[in-house]
Amino acid sequence: MDEMQQRHWTEDSTDDFIHKIVGDFVRFIEIEMGDSTSGSDLAKKVGVSAGRVSQVLNNPGNLSLKTIVQFARALGAKVSIVGYRDDDPQNAKGPVSAEVFTECWAQYGKPRDYFTISNCDRIVYLKYTPELDWAGWKIDAEATTNADHTSGRNVTTAVTPNSGGRT
Amino acid sequence: MGFVAQLIPRLALSERRAVVFVTNDQLTQLDAAEWFEMIDDPEYQPVTTRRHVRDRFDHWIGCNPPFPKYYHGWDVPGRRMCFCFKWTEKNVMNRFYGFLWHPQSNTRPRFEVCALLSHAVKHVNETEQSHLNLAATMFADEKVRVALQMYFPDRVERRH
């Protein structure tokens, strides 16, 4: 397998990469719109035509950052731009999807700032179970519950990875 | 030449899922690979088609929350193994039809493959039953499974 074969398709061009990550945002918009909000409702809120909304949703690569923010705010949502390193400098695996970041943030208790993260007193114990989960990690519910009893504290967030039970 | 399984290169990598095409020179209905080769050409227009399709594959491979606008199965007896990926190009609905299977039931029971078989251009929002029939038939064909397990070999369980 040559070097090019080992690279994810988003490595072909910057436009490919942009399509992928903005596509994640478009999916978020479509889910937020659901069945209750039609494209025309969103168009009114943003102040563009329904055709423009459709065009944007069908061609994520043309979405500007300004439009992304306009669309998110029109739905009462917000946007972050996250840079990260994933030990994949050649981009063999592709970008991590926005859903993964959002889910991790939600599972962490949706902290609003760094203080909230460092001040948390809940420890969610993770158990390494390769057969059960693609990433090998799964919340150890029993250990987490026991920890809550012994600490007597209100629990919020924090993740302590380990390789076979509790640390 | 019989059935051949081809892993789609340069998609997201996952321990849990993969997307392959199944072809057979004798069966012209198995045209999904041919269609993909056409739209995956960098010269193909609109270029967004290639990106939409690859993005849908990646989304499924990543075990993200299901998104029926991109792909879905059928909760119907006899069709539960069927699966399709969807995209729209120039207001025309396109589909890749195939089936889901766990080729490594002994080695990696949770590893799942989507074997894509045929392509359809749709003008009405109804399922192409002939494509589902084909998927169900191929799913049950031992020769197709052998072709898939050439790519994803499984440990043979010994009986005592």
* Domain housing B46: 3-151
Q: Are B127 and B138 in contact (CB under 8 A)?
A: no
pLDDT at A158: 39
Residues in chain B closer than 8 A to A27 (CB atoms): 59, 67
d(Cα B96, Cα B53) in Å, to the nearest integer? 10
Q: Residue A54 and residue B91: Cα distance in Å, rounded?
A: 11
For residue A137, what pLDDT is reported? Answer: 56
Phi, psi of A24 (to 5 degrees): -60, -40
Q: Can you tell me the mean pLDDT for B11-19? A: 93
**pLDDT of B129-159, one tens digit each?**
999 999 999 999 999 999 999 999 998 877 6
Q: Which residues of B128-158 are buried (b: 16+ CB within 10 A; e: fewer)?
A: beebbebbbebbeeeebbebbeeebebeeee
In the predicted model, what is the mean pLDDT of residues A111-130? Answer: 67
Q: How confident is the model at residue A154 (pLDDT cuts 50, 70, 90)?
A: very low
Q: Show which of residues 85-114 on chain B sit within 8 Å of chain A, judged by CB atoms.
A: 88, 109-110
Residue A162 has pLDDT above 50, yes or no: no
pLDDT at A148: 46
> Position of tokens 């090998």?
A136
What is the structure's pLDDT at B43?
Answer: 92
**pTM of full prediction above 0.80:** yes
Q: Is residue B158, in this structure, part of any structural domain at all?
A: no
Domain residue ranges of chain A, discontinuous segments joined by +:
7-74, 108-160
- Chain A residues within an 8 Å CB radius of B48: 19, 58-59, 61
Q: Which chain B residue's Cα is nearest to A21? A: B55
Say if A87 is an interface residue toward chain B (CB within 8 Å): no
Question: Number of structural domains, chain B?
Answer: 1
- The residue of chain B nearest to residue A27, with distances taken between CA atoms, is B67
Q: What is the pLDDT of residues B70-124, one digit of tens each?
A: 999 999 999 999 999 999 998 899 999 999 999 999 999 999 999 999 999 987 7
A58 pLDDT band, cuts 50/70/90, is confident
* Spatial contact of B95 and B131, defined as CB atoms under 8 Å apart: yes
Residue of chain A nearest B12, judged by CA positions: A93
Q: Is residue B157 part of a domain?
A: no
Q: Could you tell me where the DSSP H helices lie in B14-155? A: 32-39, 47-61, 129-140, 142-151
Best of A9, A91, A100 to disrupt the B interface (most B CBs within 10 Å) is A9
**Distance in angstroms (rounded) separating the CA atoms of residues B37 and B52:** 14
Q: Say yes or no for a CB contact (<8 Å) between A94 and B11.
A: yes
| Residue B160 is assigned to a structural domain of this protein | no
Cα distances (Å, whole numbers) of residue B27 to B6, B52, B58, B144:
16, 27, 28, 12
Any B CB within 8 A of A97 CB: yes
What are A6-51's pLDDT values in tens digits?
899 999 999 999 999 999 999 999 898 876 556 788 888 888 888 8
Q: What is the pLDDT of residue A48?
A: 85
Instruction: Determine whether the interchain pair A20/B109 forms a contact, defined as Cβ–Cβ distance below 8 Å.
Output: no
Fold that domain A7-74 belongs to in CATH: 434 Repressor (Amino-terminal Domain) (1.10.260)
Check if A5 contacts B (Cβ < 8 Å): yes
Count, in order, helices (H) and strands (E) of chain A.
7, 3
The band of B6, judged by pLDDT with boundaries at 50, 70 and 90, is very high
Pairwise CA distance, residues A29 & A71, whole Å: 8
DSSP 8-state symbol, A93: S
